[in-house]
Amino acid sequence: MKSGMPIFIVGVGRSGSTVFHRMFSEHPNVAWLSLLCDICPGKPSINRLLMKSIAYPIIGRCLRQLNRGEHYKFWNYYFKGFGTPCRDLSPEDVTKKTKEQIKEVVSKMLTKKRNKFLAKITGWPRIGFLHEIFKDAKFIHILRDGRAVANSLINEDWWLGWKGPQNWRWGELTPSHKEEWEKYNKSFIALACIEWKILVGAIEEAKRYIEHTDFFEIKYENLCAAPLSVFKDVVEFCELKWTKKFENSIKKHKLKNTNYKWQKEFSDIQKNIAENILRDYLNRYEYL
């Protein structure tokens, strides 16, 4: 079966892409990667069987609980560095073998009903790489206030910034970013803000690979405030149908904007650090 217009969700981690992806995967016409894709990446027919089985009411409720995540073991099976590259992946990174294999494996996951592939990828956007493989792909960027993202990152022990930029996944700091970090005594809040700025900047840069009509941006804050309205726009952008069943599934998700946490938890000095580092981007995206 042909892979009809894949849909890729991109964004900086801790921006709300997980809940957005979970909600979107309830649409009856999208197929998504499950935990089975990490366990058996070379057997797409197993994931396809899952996509067919979730249509059955009782078994479907159980099967939907299978992790719907990014599943980098799957992607790494077809392109070894997909999960943890030190820079964004570009069209030039796509080999003929990679292109053929990924197109084929995705097509084998689709069913007659679930005929659009949906995937979530955070960190580097990899838009140019994915567009080189799927020329008809659509990209949805989930954007969140960088101050809130920075606060969320420093509350995670898995955040690689704790080891310093020489040990993280985003490459060496540019001279200007290094100067910023050192200006604030190598503050971890400053580094988390710089990470957000690096990755949002990479998304802005990667948009040059695609038509503007293939890119859709959603603010996390708007998603929390009006999920039905946001998803109606998303469904139209992705050329899908709006159904009452999908609407009801959206209503079941109770979203809460937790951006207040950075305002509550940062000291006045830390707030100034974050806003000084992010000012240009915060103004650009109307967060200031």
Beta bridge partners, 142, equal 218
Q: Is residue 2 part of a domain?
A: no
Rounded CA separation 22/64 (Å): 10
- Residue 54: the pLDDT is 87
Does the global pTM surpass 0.85?
Answer: yes
Q: Is residue 234 part of a domain?
A: yes
CB 198 within 8 A of CB 177: yes
Please give the distance of CA 210 from its chain centroid, rounded to a whole number. Answer: 17
The two structure tokens encoding residue 253:
């998700």
Task: List the one residue out of 187, 145, 129 whose CA is nearest residue 12.
Answer: 145
How many folded domains does the chain comprise? 1
Q: Is residue 260 part of a domain?
A: yes
Residue 76 has pLDDT above 90, yes or no: yes
Q: What is the DSSP string of the chain?
A: ----S-EEEEE-TTSSHHHHHHHHTTSTTEEE--HHHHHSTT-HHHHHHHHHHTTSHHHHHHHTTS--S--HHHHHHHSTTSSS-SS---GGG--HHHHHHHHHHHHTT--SSS-EEEEEEESS--HHHHHHH-TT-EEEEEE--HHHHHHHHTT-TT-GGGG-GGGSSS-SPPHHHHHHHHHTTT-HHHHHHHHHHHHHHHHHHHGGGS-GGGEEEEEHHHHHH-HHHHHHHHHHHTT----HHHHHHHHT------THHHHHHS-HHHHHHHHHHHHHHHHHTT--
Task: List the one residue out of 136, 270, 96, 128 whose CA is nearest residue 207.
Answer: 128
CB 181 within 8 A of CB 276: no
CB 148 within 8 A of CB 261: yes
Q: Is residue 26 part of a domain?
A: yes
Residue 15 has pLDDT above 70, yes or no: yes
- Residue 2: the pLDDT is 47
Q: Residue 141's domain is classified under what CATH number?
A: 3.40.50.300
The two structure tokens encoding residue 206:
């990667």
CB 138 within 8 A of CB 217: no
- Residue 61: the pLDDT is 64
Q: What is the percentage of the chain residues whose pLDDT exceeds 70?
A: 95
Residue 55 has pLDDT above 90, yes or no: no
Per-residue pLDDT of 117-161, as tens digits, reads 999 999 999 999 999 999 999 999 999 999 999 999 999 999 999
Q: Is residue 171 part of a domain?
A: yes
Q: What is the percentage of the chain residues whose pLDDT exceeds 90?
A: 92
Q: Is residue 181 part of a domain?
A: yes
The two structure tokens encoding residue 90:
């570009």
Domain span holding position 218: 7-284
Q: Is residue 1 part of a domain?
A: no
Task: List the one residue out of 37, 43, 108 whose CA is nearest residue 68.
Answer: 37
Residue 1 has pLDDT above 50, yes or no: no
Q: Is residue 165 part of a domain?
A: yes
Rounded CA separation 5/283 (Å): 33
Which residue, chain included where needed, has tokens 């020489």?
A: 166
- Residue 68: the pLDDT is 83
Per-residue pLDDT of 178-230, as tens digits, reads 999 999 999 999 999 999 999 999 999 999 999 999 999 999 999 999 999 99
Per-residue pLDDT of 16-26, as tens digits, reads 999 999 999 99
- Residue 9: the pLDDT is 98
Rounded CA separation 88/125 (Å): 7
End-to-end alpha-carbon separation of the chain, Å? Answer: 47
